[in-house]
Chain A
Amino acid sequence: MLAFIIRRIVWTIPVILLVILMTFLMMRLIKGNPFQVTDRPVPPSIQRNLDRKFHLDKPWWEQYLYYVRDVGRFDLGPSLVQRNQDVNDVIKEHFPTSIKLGLMAMGFAIVIGVPLGVFAALRHNTVLDYTAMGLANLGFAVPSFLVATLLIYFFALRLKDYTGLPTNGWNGPSSWVLPVIALGIYPMTYFARLVRGTVLETLQQDYIRTAKAKGLRWRFVVGKHVLRNSLIPVVTAAGPVLGGLITGSFIVETIFGIPGIGRYYVTAVTGRDYSVVMGITVLLSVIIIVANLVVDILYGYLDPRIRDERA
């Protein structure tokens, strides 16, 4: 098992390198060399800085290697637009907010979605099942910008006097509620449907019949046999869910005016702050890759058959 883990970790390195390479290449494709040709004239002092930092006199693959080395040192270069800031500063300033938002949204999604799915599966083909899944499907289909807008519309405008939930900014718990819900609805529906599926499938299995034949109490069977086996796929689903959270955060942060990294990314792209764009992209990629790694390892730990296969 340890050998597997090590092998898996080692394998992420070329993946990260590849991602950086692709990002780097894309950046270079944007109107020639983006670090020289920007809309705004770049003052000579900055230009010298950039030349040094990015080794612009060297061939592109050398530049790439330098960049990789810098990434390894966690040095993502200076911002092209905010003259006094490094990309790292930008990240430090905005990223924690996004992380908080993302984690809370994920928490919301799991806490609401998983029990909903289990409940729907246990009450399979009843009105409750159909209602729950109907709602889940609705939440799945409606684009998050509409969800966010509707939330703001109802809570901030119509019900303002009753709830007083702020719809802008990120200060204090009450301002977290609406954005977390807006961001968390889509993953919540994902989990609800996934869990319902896995629970239904588990209920069909022979070993559940065996458990019943042994006279175990039904609640016990559900808690011990059914849930355990049904929730394993939920862990592995964390990967795509994370991707969805990142995407969703761009929208939600924009709408709710939350100073996170998603909102900053869009500003950076339209403002042609390419080093920031690259830095954030690399950061997000690394997060996804690490998350997938953790999920992979966790999955092996949870399912004994895989555990043995890997040993």
Chain B
Amino acid sequence: MSEPDVVSSEPATKRRGRRLKGGPLQTRRTEFEDTLARTASARGAEAGASLPRASLWGDAFHRFMKNKASVVAAVAFLALLAFVIIVPFVSSEDPYALDFSQAYLSPSWDHPFGTDQFGRDLFIRTALGGRVSFAIGFAATFTIMVVGIVYGATAGFLGGHVDNALMRFLDALYGLPYLPFAIMTLAVFGTVNFWTMVVALTIASWFTTARVMRGQIITLKQNDYVRAAYAAGAKGPRVLYRHLLMNTLGVIIVFVFLELPGVILGEAFLSFLGLGINPPKASWGTLAQDGYTAYQAHPYIIVIPSLCIAWLILSAFFIADGLRDALDPRTKEA
């Protein structure tokens, strides 16, 4: 469930894309923008020093840092990551010990997130659950990326009939409803563990990535420097790797941050429906499901893991936004 995307089953060339896909929407530079651009370079010249060799990544990094929202989001994201990594090392609580005398304690200094129905400390369980959620999230995102990139790059690079066939097939796949197929996949495997969950989440999520990659490759393929590379004697795979893929790295990174929340949310949904990771291992989704049964008296049990998910989704989204702006060399509205 990713970011608003104008998607229909029309071939990508006819689609009005957002900036990532294919060619950007053309905006004519106004006289004002000309002036601004010249202002910037004139100042550089006045400073006397020759313009430093700017690298794409260095530039992007600086632009990203200037964007306040993105920096805040990045910090939030890293904070969450730190939480799930560090707490289990630091805490003295046993996440699996059952102690009914301690059941359902409200958040306190001893138990910052309270305890669940078995008396287990939720602070550490949330952190551990976060590890599982993040792990599943990253693994599934990685798989989605791999599948999507391979599929899309192949289609885009080879072009012609292969491209046509692959894209038609992809169009057909768009008709698969995401959740039912994820559920069915889990049923096929019979059990829900880390790997089956990753597969289930990947199955119906890689389509957009494939399509975007294809669009990128096709656009880049038409660039003159690719032709120059061929003219210099480079062979197919080398061109593909060095020129095309390297240049799409930026897009890929942005997509990672767009897919990650969707995948984690998907896992949460599946868990909530009772198809989550088997206990006693927990993820945020299963924790939320646990909490659901007792929400009336003890709302914090469901609220806390849900808020963790929301925190992740928001921060990932703004990071993706910031990355997209940072990697887009065109100046946006002032």
What is A's interface to B at a CB cutoff of 8 Å? 14-16, 18-19, 22-23, 26-27, 29-31, 137-138, 140-143, 145-146, 149-150, 152-153, 157, 186, 190, 193-194, 197, 201, 204, 206, 233, 236-237, 239-240, 243-244, 246-247, 250-251, 254-255, 265-266, 269-270, 277, 280-281, 284-285, 288-289, 292-293, 295-296, 299, 306, 309
In the complex where A26-B185, A153-B299, A243-B177 touch, is A141 in contact with B25 (Cβ < 8 A)?
no
Task: Give the residues in chain A near B273, CB-CB below 8 Å.
Answer: 250-251, 254, 266
What is B's interface to A at a CB cutoff of 8 Å? 1, 4-10, 14, 16, 25, 27-28, 169, 171-181, 183-185, 187-188, 190, 261, 265, 268-269, 272-275, 288, 292, 295-296, 299, 302-303, 306-307, 309-311, 313-314, 317, 333
In the complex where A15-B175, A18-B172, A146-B288 touch, is A292 in contact with B8 (Cβ < 8 A)?
yes
Contact A146 B306 (CB under 8 A): yes
Contact A280 B180 (CB under 8 A): yes
Task: Give the residues in chain B near A141, CB-CB below 8 Å.
Answer: 261, 309-311, 313-314, 317
Task: Give the residues in chain A near B333, CB-CB below 8 Å.
Answer: 204
Contact A285 B175 (CB under 8 A): yes
Shortest Cβ gap from B273 to chain A (Å): 5
Contact A269 B172 (CB under 8 A): no
- Choose among A138, A246, A309 the residue that contacts B14 (Cβ–Cβ < 8 A): A309
- Choose among A137, A145, A239, A244 the residue that contacts B272 (Cβ–Cβ < 8 A): A145
Contact A277 B184 (CB under 8 A): yes
Shortest Cβ gap from A24 to chain B (Å): 11
Task: Give the residues in chain A near B172, CB-CB below 8 Å.
Answer: 14-15, 18-19
Q: Which residue of B lies closest to A206 (CB)?
A: B28
Closest 5 CB pairs of A and B: A146-B306, A141-B313, A15-B172, A289-B175, A141-B310
Main secondary structure on chain B at its contact with chain A?
helix
Q: Which residue of B lies closest to A17 (CB)?
A: B172
Q: Which residue of B lies closest to A157 (CB)?
A: B296
Number of A-B residue pairs at CB separation under 8 A: 163
Task: Give the residues in chain A near B175, CB-CB below 8 Å.
Answer: 15-16, 18-19, 285, 288-289, 292
Q: Which residue of B lies closest to A290 (CB)?
A: B175
- Choose among B4, B27, B188, B309 the residue that contacts A26 (Cβ–Cβ < 8 A): B188
In the complex where A143-B310, A269-B187, A285-B177 touch, is A239 in contact with B4 (Cβ < 8 A)?
no
Shortest Cβ gap from B253 to chain A (Å): 21
Instruction: Provide the bound-state CA to CA distance between A27 and B184, in Å.
Output: 8
Instruction: Provide the bound-state CA to CA distance between A4 and B46, in Å.
Output: 59
Task: Give the residues in chain A near B296, CB-CB below 8 Å.
Answer: 153, 157
Contact B179 A247 (CB under 8 A): yes
Contact A265 B6 (CB under 8 A): no
Instruction: Provide the bound-state CA to CA distance between A168 and B76, in Å.
Output: 37
Q: Which residue of A lies closest to B261 (CB)?
A: A141
Task: Give the residues in chain B near A14, CB-CB below 8 Å.
Answer: 172
In the complex where A141-B317, A251-B272, A269-B183 touch, is A149 in contact with B292 (Cβ < 8 A)?
yes
Instruction: Provide the bound-state CA to CA distance between A18 and B299, in Å.
Output: 44
Instruction: Provide the bound-state CA to CA distance between A157 and B187, in Å.
Output: 36
Task: Give the residues in chain A near B173, CB-CB below 8 Å.
Answer: 18
Contact A266 B183 (CB under 8 A): yes
Pairs across A and B, CB under 8 Å, 14 listed: A26-B185, A27-B184, A29-B188, A31-B190, A137-B317, A152-B295, A190-B4, A193-B4, A194-B4, A247-B178, A254-B273, A269-B275, A277-B187, A281-B184
Contact A251 B269 (CB under 8 A): yes
Shortest Cβ gap from A64 to chain B (Å): 16
In the complex where A137-B314, A266-B274 touch, is A247 in contact with B269 (Cβ < 8 A)?
yes
- Choose among A30, A142, A246, A292 the residue that contacts B174 (Cβ–Cβ < 8 A): A292
Task: Give the residues in chain A near B314, CB-CB below 8 Å.
Answer: 137-138, 141
Instruction: Provide the bound-state CA to CA distance between A250 and B273, in Å.
Output: 8
In the complex where A143-B268, A143-B269, A233-B16 touch, is A284 in contact with B274 (Cβ < 8 A)?
no
In the complex where A26-B184, A153-B296 touch, is A233 in contact with B303 (Cβ < 8 A)?
no
Contact B179 A237 (CB under 8 A): no
Task: Give the residues in chain B near A149, CB-CB below 8 Å.
Answer: 292, 295, 299, 302, 306
